[in-house]
Amino acid sequence: MWKIKDVYYISDSTALLTEEMGRSLLCQFPEINFNEEKIPFIRTVNDAQKALKKILKRSSVLQPLLFCTIMDKEVRSVFDVAEVEILDLYAGFLNTLEMALEAKALREPGYFRHGDSSQSDQRVEAIHYSIEHDDGKNTRGYSEADIILIGVSRSGKTPVSVYLATHMGFKAANFPLTSDHLSNYELPVDIVRNRQYTIGLTTSPRYLHKIREKRYAGSSYAKLSTCADEIHQAEQLCLQHSIKTLNTEGKSIEEIAVQATQLLGLSKKRRKGYNP
C-alpha cells in the first residue's frame, strides 16, 4: 500500500470542481497522505504538454494520480502515459447521459448550471462584503478580508473581486491606487496592516493603454506614458511593502481569480471564519 501520493487536479477551467470531486474520493483513504496541486486552464495541447512535463519532473517516482475534467479529447490524450495514473472524471458519464437524454452534450469547458449550494450562506456573506468594500470603500473592514486587490484604474480589480465572492466564496476587497498614493508611494494603513492578504494587479503599459483608449480615447488618462508611469509606481509601491503582484494581461477574470488565490495559498477550507 502507498503511504504517500502526489495528486494533481487538471482542468480546462478553474479546476475547482475537479478538486472537489477528487477529494470526495480520496477521503475514503485516510491512511494515505496526499500532496495535492491544481493545474487549471489546460486548453491546448501545448498547455497539456507543459503541465505533463512539470508533473513528471516533480512526481514521476510516485506515479502520481491525475484527476481530469478536460473536454477536448486531443488535449486529454497528452496525459495518457505510463508514468501517471489518470482518472478522467467525465469519461463515460457524458456518453451515458447523451444516450439516456437522447441529446448531445455541449462539451464546453467551464460550463455550469447554477443552483443552490450547501455553501450559499457563505457566498451571500462574501458577496455582501465585497459590495461594501468595493473601490476603496470602508478600508477599516479589511481585517475581515480573505483577499484584498489593489491596482491602478482599469486593472480589473472589481470584476475579479466579484468573481472571488460569487464563485469562490471569498470576502474580497479592492482598492484603487490613485495619483496621490502613487506619487507619494504611500498606502493606507489598513492595507499595510493586512498586506499578507493583498495582491497587486498589474499589466503592461500597452495593454492598459489599449483598455483605457476604448473608453477615454485621446485623453491624458489613456496616454501610453501615463499608463507606463502609473504601472511602474504601483509595482514599486508593492515592492516597497512586500506585496505580491499578478500580471493580468490577456487573462480571463476566472483565471486571475484562481491565480490570485494560489499566490496567497488560499483554499475554501482556509477562508477566515470557516468552520469545517
Question: Edge-to-edge, what's the strand order for the sheet holding 85-88?
Answer: 33-39, 4-11, 65-69, 85-88
What is the reported pLDDT for 48? 96
The angle subtended at Cα 158 by Cα 265 and Cα 269, nearest 5°, is 25
Which of the pair, 182 or 15, is modelled with greater confidence? Answer: 182
Q: What is the pTM of this model?
A: 0.64
Separation of alpha carbons 129 and 173, rounded Å: 8
Give Cα separations from 98 to 70, 93, 101, 106, 234 (angstroms): 18, 9, 5, 10, 51
How many angstroms separate the first and last alpha carbons of the chain?
29
Which residues lie below 8 Å from residue 20, measured CB to CB, with a gap of 6+?
none
Which of the pair, 147 or 163, is modelled with greater confidence? Answer: 147
User: Which range, of 72-76, 108-112, 120-124, 267-271, averages the lowest pLDDT?
Assistant: 267-271
Q: Is 57 helix (H, G, I), strand (E, B) or coil?
A: helix
**pLDDT reading at 6 higher than 70:** yes
**pLDDT reading at 114 higher than 60:** no
What is the reported pLDDT for 275? 46
**pLDDT reading at 205 higher than 70:** yes
- 120-270 folds as Rossmann fold (3.40.50)
Q: Is 55 helix (H, G, I), strand (E, B) or coil?
A: helix
50-103, pLDDT tens digit by residue?
999 999 999 988 889 999 989 898 999 999 999 999 998 877 677 777 787 788
Each domain of the chain, given as residue ranges in start order, spans 4-101, 120-270
What is the reported pLDDT for 276? 41
What is the reported pLDDT for 136? 93
What is the reported pLDDT for 5? 93
Q: Examine domains 4-101 and 120-270 and report if their fold is the same.
A: yes
> What is the overall mean pLDDT for the chain?
88
CATH number, domain 4-101: 3.40.50
What is the reported pLDDT for 116? 47
Q: Whats the size of the chain, residue-wise?
A: 276
